[in-house]
Amino acid sequence: MSVAVSISQVEKRFGSLRALAGVSLQIAEGEFFGLLGPNGAGKTTLISCLAGLTRPDAGTLSVMGHDVLSDYREARRRLGVVPQELVFDPFFSVRETLRIQSGYFGMRNNDDWIDEILANLDLTAKADINMRRLSGGMKRRVLVAQALVHKPPVLVLDEPTAGVDVELRQGLWQFIRRLNQDGHTIILTTHYLEEAEALCGRIAMLKQGQVVALDTTRNLLARFSGQTLNLRLAGGPASLPAALRARASESEQTCAFHLASLDELEPLLATLRAAGCGIDDLRLTQADLEDVFLGVMQESGSAQDTAR
């Protein structure tokens, strides 16, 4: 299978901040690829480098065989990017916005394609409405339309459903799935991990500018197979015994324990009882991509601490 996107040893610094620390990835044509990581992991910086908006300090990036620096015109023609921020010109209607975007790529008289995009994104009724009058969810749909208007084979979606209601989100994913089935390569960043689990065939996880996991979604889920015990304790996570707290994933109100098998459940509860921890709520769930994500982040944090 041909390579759609190639990223090799990419590094980027902003002053003393090392945003990317030697990132290498290859994404095949037709893949639905997930790029995940906590805030500040380097996802948006990597996308900016790929789109030619940020120049890397080292390494190479290419789109459909075209280097993003030395052959930037052809690379940009083959890439569509839906940015995380709602960026739009308030002086034009939706249709005018798409016509202008087409002009940036030398495309004229492509109203038939614009109409098709508008119909697929449920924007036909909004075609002649000024951009500033649209809701946040509709503006985000227009950003998707802008990314598609020059018919790029590779589409990058940076948090495309942030602030979008459930109905619009489902419609958007139905359209994106169809694009992928038609051969488009899709690269997705999202904090909705259930979306990545349902859509992406392969996933890379970034932390502090480095790839800390890269595998198929199925293999990542198998790596952390088992159950997760979610507890809300009367005294909060701080009431956990030190030995248990070291292996727990904590939030403000809850703590979670990954169980390789159900045989671990009773000893864990017995330890909590012996420590006098009162349990207000208990849920046992099957491991999902969120558990994988937390596990990978914890493992990579422990490895970095050991390296120091």
Domain ranges across the chain: 1-78+154-163+179-224, 86-151, 226-286
Q: In this predicted structure, what is the pLDDT of residue 306?
A: 46
CATH code of the domain occupying 1-78+154-163+179-224: 3.40.50.300
Q: In this predicted structure, what is the pLDDT of residue 67?
A: 96
Q: In this predicted structure, what is the pLDDT of residue 304?
A: 53
CA 257 to chain centre: 25
According to DSSP, the β-strands at 185-189 and 32-36 are: parallel
d(CA 94, CA 126): 7
Q: How do the pLDDT tens digits run along the chain, 308 residues long? A: 799 999 999 999 999 999 999 999 999 999 999 999 999 999 999 999 999 999 999 999 999 999 999 999 999 999 999 988 888 888 999 999 999 999 988 888 889 999 999 998 889 999 999 999 998 888 888 999 999 999 999 999 998 877 677 777 888 888 899 999 999 999 999 888 989 999 999 999 999 999 999 999 999 888 776 788 889 888 888 888 888 888 888 877 788 888 877 888 898 899 888 888 888 999 888 778 887 888 888 887 655 554 44
Q: In this predicted structure, what is the pLDDT of residue 255?
A: 87
d(CA 140, CA 154): 18
Q: In this predicted structure, what is the pLDDT of residue 307?
A: 46
Q: In this predicted structure, what is the pLDDT of residue 90?
A: 85
Q: Which two tokens stand for residue 140?
A: 């985000």
Q: Which two tokens stand for residue 7?
A: 């990223």
What own/partner pairs with CB < 8 Å and gap ≥ 24 does 42-48 have?
A: 42/12, 42/206, 42/208, 42/209, 42/210, 43/158, 43/189, 43/206, 44/84, 44/158, 44/189, 45/12, 45/19, 45/20, 45/209, 46/7, 46/10, 46/20, 46/206, 47/81, 47/156, 47/158, 47/187, 47/189
pTM of the model: 0.80
52, 68 Cβ separation under 8 angstroms:
yes
